[in-house]
Amino acid sequence: MDRETFIAHCQKINLLLTDSQLSQFEKYASFLLEYNMHTNLTAIRTKEDVYLKHFYDSLLFTQYIDLNKVKTIVDVGTGAGFPGLVLKIMYPHLSLTLIESNKKKCTFLNQVIKHLELDRIEVKNERSETFALSHLDFFDVVTARAVTHLTVLSELCLPLVKIGGYFIPLKGELLEELEQSQNIIKTLNGEIENTYHYRLPIENAARSIVKIKKIGHTPANYPRPFDKMKKALKKTKK
């Protein structure tokens, strides 16, 4: 997907990019690919794939929740900033928190934020289950893109969501994971409002987005330590 195709596909989903936003995306793509030559951030190696598989893929999030009405958003396991930084470029008013346990990726995030002249962003170099303990029921929206199995991801993310807010994971094929995650989502007072399945243009790859509403406070003793989450997942899969 070249720049002009990116613009055209954004228009199809009612996203009209300003010259300033287009400049930020171009700088982001160039900086990412240059940085990736010495620090492993992404398997993607071309600008066309960055626009399709990182930028456009992240922006499809906007079709399922009105971010104009959202103030605070957290991206768990953000990696090189997807979808969080892409959403921030599109919606500058957002107060964004990026959680990433890899220190080298956090260094990149802080540099690209400065390079793009973005504000109201915090980069947290820690595990999300640790961060959640001091931010229970706190944020309007929590998201994560292709991080881990939905059962574990729900426990990492739902505790961060305020009552009435949403956890919205971005995944590929999802049916089996969704079935295995029903119990933990219910335990954490999440309620699945809808699941959306679609295809990424050009390469036709399967994508899924789940919209999970937080309907009650996070129960005591959640989130559990990560090793306990993994053990619970193994039992769920049996």
The residue with greater pLDDT, 231 or 114, is 114
The domains of the chain, with CATH numbers, are 67-237 (3.40.50.150)
* List of residues 6+ apart from 184 with CB closer than 8 A: 151, 154, 155, 232
Rounded CA gap, 160 and 200, in Å? 29
Instruction: Kindly report the backbone phi and psi dihedral angles of residue 119, in degrees, each rounded to the nearest multiple of 5, phi listed first.
Output: -130, 175
Distances (CA, A) of 220 to 133, 179, 196, 206, 236: 11, 24, 31, 36, 21
β strands within the chain, DSSP E: 72-76, 95-99, 121-124, 139-145, 161-171, 190-199, 206-214
Separation between Cα atoms, residue 177 and residue 123, nearest integer Å? 29
**The pLDDT value given to residue 146:** 76
Give one DSSP letter per residue of 188-238, joined into a string. TTEEEEEEEEEE-TTT--EEEEEEEEE-SPPPTT-SPPHHHHHHHHHHHH-
pLDDT of residue 196: 94
N-term to C-term CA, the chain: 41
Q: How far apart are CA 36 and CA 32, in angstroms?
A: 6
User: Residue 236 — pLDDT band, cuts 50, 70, 90?
Assistant: confident
Q: How far apart are the C-alpha atoms of 67 and 168, rounded to whole Å? A: 12
Q: For residue range 19-43, what is the model confidence (pLDDT) as tens digits?
A: 999 999 999 999 999 999 999 999 9
Where do we find the tokens 């679609």?
198
The per-residue pLDDT for range 92-148, each reduced to its tens digit, is 999 999 999 999 999 999 999 999 999 999 999 999 999 999 999 999 999 999 788
**d(C-alpha 42, C-alpha 27), whole Å:** 16
At residue 173, does pLDDT exceed 90? no
**Does the pTM exceed 0.85?**
yes
Which pLDDT does position 175 carry in this prediction? Answer: 84
* Average pLDDT rounded to a whole number, residues 178-200: 95
